[in-house]
Amino acid sequence: MQTLTATKTLTIDRVHSDAAFQVRHLVTKVRGRFTDFDGKILLDEANPELSSVTFVIQAASVDTNTPDRDAHLRSEDFFFVEKFPTITFTSTRVAQTGINQYSVTGTLTIRGVSREVTLPVTALGEVKDPWGNLKAGF
């Protein structure tokens, strides 16, 4: 007999989330973020391996706090946002690696090039906000 478990559908809360990056440039580090993104997590707590994640970033929303650099990043030299407007991640596998620890493997596509990546994820817990909405941190 198969037991059915509840799967929660969680959407990315942009107010409490960020899509940030850091890269080495010359002798320093450049930090940036994307301001326009969304995603969904289908979370099966009883069977984490049945969970999935999708995430979409609007590449033109790149922000490094330097307008000239941001314009260059949007150009054909880097993200080429006119031809490739989104950066996407779609999970293909979720594995629990410890208590509240997961390994999420999936396809990351940037500028039309797809690569398999594995991301370490920590589940930080759940809480209801003052309006009764469930919030989960990862």
Please, what is the average pLDDT of the chain? 93
According to the model, what pLDDT value does residue 135 have? 85
- Residue 106: how many CB atoms within 10 A of its CB? 22
According to the model, what pLDDT value does residue 126 have? 87
According to the model, what pLDDT value does residue 16 have? 85
Q: Where are the beta strands (DSSP E) in 44-133?
A: 52-58, 62-63, 86-98, 101-110, 113-122, 125-128
Where are the domains positioned within the chain?
8-12+31-122
According to the model, what pLDDT value does residue 15 have? 85
According to the model, what pLDDT value does residue 107 have? 98
Going from the first residue of the chain to its last (138 residues), give the mean pLDDT of each consecutive group of 10, the final group possibly shorter.
72 89 92 96 92 97 98 98 98 96 97 97 90 88
For the domain made up of 8-12+31-122, the CATH class stated in words is mainly beta
